[in-house]
Amino acid sequence: MTESIINLDSINPIEFFGVNNGKLDLLKKKFPLLKILSRGTQLKLSGAPEEVATAEEKISQIVKYLERNGNLTENYFEQILGDEEGTAVDHFSDRNPNEVLVFGPNARTVRARTANQKRMVALADKNDIVFAIGPAGTGKTYTAVALAVRALKNKAVKKIILTRPAVEAGESLGFLPGDLKEKIDPYLRPLYDALDDMIPAEKLSYYMTNRIIEIAPLAYMRGRTLDNSFIILDEAQNATDLQLKMFLTRIGASAKAIITGDLTQIDLPKNQKSGLEKANRILRNIDGIGSVELDEEDVVRHRLVKAIIRAYDADKDKEG
């Protein structure tokens, strides 16, 4: 007797089990000699070693398909189970593997929605450091967080580190109520919001408590070496030249980093200069570093946001 537990964290379990467990019933029908139990995002198989191994292979093929496409009909589910050659998945998979980045709570799917967001995903797959620069609403942070969550779920990294310069706080921090974390948290809220869309609340709480996901101001990165991590520096236009150099030299072995920013919304004091433009310019041609520029065509917020960005750009050109 052999037992095997399969985690389905990388896919939407509802798509695997089916409505009223219709697809799970097909799996049980295919392997009548196995005891198959489901609990949450886990599947437990018990039975003869050969039967368990065969079932694991079929389940792996189904998971592979769902990771690529996000959904799976009962008819094709049955075709995969009956395919002796193991070629059904490659034959039926669409032309855009990994289009769905993350399955969030309530069957929410997170995917790159615009051409430049898809380019950002492709660059992140091929490079260890990626600069993503563009105006508000273009999905820079959201896509970066989705890539980080995908890497964590796929066990490509051991932790996620999200950081931002807290420059908006300035001297007013001391006048805000609460401890330092409570003073800083409002400036990191967009990162929490993105995570809420992608990870169930209970699991997110576990990740945060055990520091598997860490959110901290940029200043807290000094002196650290970040190994086996997916690191996102958000709002990097508010980091100085020295701060960006400090951050980029924190990156350790088996780590990936995405730096996002909007050069039109720099909140630094007048006597300080943003380091983002320089870092992107002098580093973008280094092997292993990618760069993508998003624009108003990538805006995924309210339709008026695109018009607002264009209006400001036009006014800036007129002033220039």
Is pTM beyond 0.75 here? no
- Condensed to tens digits (0 to 9), the pLDDT of residues 90-99 reads 544 444 544 7
Per-residue pLDDT, averaged over 213-238, amounts to 90
Q: Which of the residue ranges 122-136, 167-181, 295-309 has the most confident prediction, judged by mean pLDDT?
A: 122-136
Q: Are 121 and 102 in contact (CB under 8 A)?
A: no
DSSP state of 178: S
Rg (CA), the chain: 23
Query: Which one is predicted more confidently, 52 or 177?
Result: 52
Give CB contacts under 8 A, 24+ apart, made by 181-187: 184/216, 184/217, 187/217
Give me the residue spans of the domains in the chain.
2-92, 100-319
3-state secondary structure of 150: helix
- Condensed to tens digits (0 to 9), the pLDDT of residues 184-215 reads 677 778 888 899 989 988 999 999 999 999 98
- Confidence grade of residue 170 (pLDDT, cut at 50, 70, 90): very low
CA dihedral of residues 209, 220, 241, 249 (deg, nearest 10): -80
At which residue do the structure tokens 């995917």 appear?
A: 111
Query: Which one is predicted more confidently, 212 or 305?
Result: 212
Query: Which one is predicted more confidently, 77 or 283?
Result: 283
- Condensed to tens digits (0 to 9), the pLDDT of residues 34-70 reads 999 998 889 999 999 999 999 999 999 898 888 776 7
- List the Cα angle 209/211/214 in 5-degree steps: 110
Per-residue pLDDT, averaged over 211-236, amounts to 90
Distance CA 80, CA 225 (A): 45
Per-residue pLDDT, averaged over 270-279, amounts to 91
Among the listed residues 88, 236, 228, the one whose alpha carbon sits nearest the alpha carbon of residue 159: 228
What is the third-level CATH fold of 100-319? Rossmann fold (3.40.50)
- Confidence grade of residue 183 (pLDDT, cut at 50, 70, 90): low
Residue 288, by phi and psi: left (phi above 0), alpha (psi -120 to 50) or beta?
Answer: left
Distance CA 175, CA 184 (A): 12
Per-residue pLDDT, averaged over 173-180, amounts to 57
Q: Decide if 2-92 and 100-319 have a common fold.
A: no
Say which CATH class 2-92 falls into.
Answer: alpha beta
Among the listed residues 163, 167, 306, 183, the one whose alpha carbon sits nearest the alpha carbon of residue 246: 163
Q: Tell me the pLDDT of the chain averaged across its residues.
A: 84
CA dihedral of residues 270, 275, 281, 283 (deg, nearest 10): 170
pLDDT of residue 126: 92
pLDDT of residue 302: 67
Q: Are 54 and 31 in contact (CB under 8 A)?
A: yes
Q: Locate 165 and state its tokens.
A: 């310069």
